[in-house]
Amino acid sequence: MTTQVPKYVEPRTQKMNNVANHLEPWLQLEGKVVFVTGASAGLGREFCLDLARSGCRVVAGARRGDRLKSLCDEINTNSHLVRAMAIELDVTADGTTIEASVKKAWDAFGHIDALINNAGVRGGIKSSVDISEEEWENTLRTNLTGSWLVSKYVGRQMQASKKGGSIINISSISGLNRALMRGAIAYSSSKAAMDSMTFVVSNTYRTNFVYEICR
């Protein structure tokens, strides 16, 4: 008779496995509603296209309505169902305006399963003594405050719906090591703050099945 020796699992790995068991498999995206900010160009546009190909319904939010229309037309032309809706969203606006945009995004398909906070700006590459106050404030307003406000109002809706959801904030390695982008003091500061904000907010939602993560 042989004795089975239990396989040792490093505590951190076990903890990650326990968390993963509560999350849906990555491939089960069919029918999910995903709200993407900064969707009119770059990463945001590509997120929308890839999510639609995976079977998601997409709410595309940005300021440039003509580009959003083009994106949604491209997605919907290749589907017999409406899979993409455009919502005007300016993440530098005040909270009341952003809340109204989030409400429209929620109503587009009746709910939101996931939010991707992608809207952001890099700003100029300048010495910390040369950057203007206006550029500093615009970068933080867009990258940090805007993401917080959209998360706040989407999170409220997710909590009220009792269905939960996921909030994904697009950060940058520059928030971890500013030397990787010398001169981008406002951008790096905004991303470092976003990392911290994400950690704090995720603890707030822990018991409400709303998951907030940073990528």
Does an H or E element contain 136, and which?
A: helix 133-140
- For residue 8, indicate whether it is catalytic: no
Give the C-alpha separation, 124 to 22, whole Å: 41
8 Å CB contact between 214 and 195: yes
Catalytic residue among 153, 187, 205, 211: 187
What residues act catalytically? Answer: 187
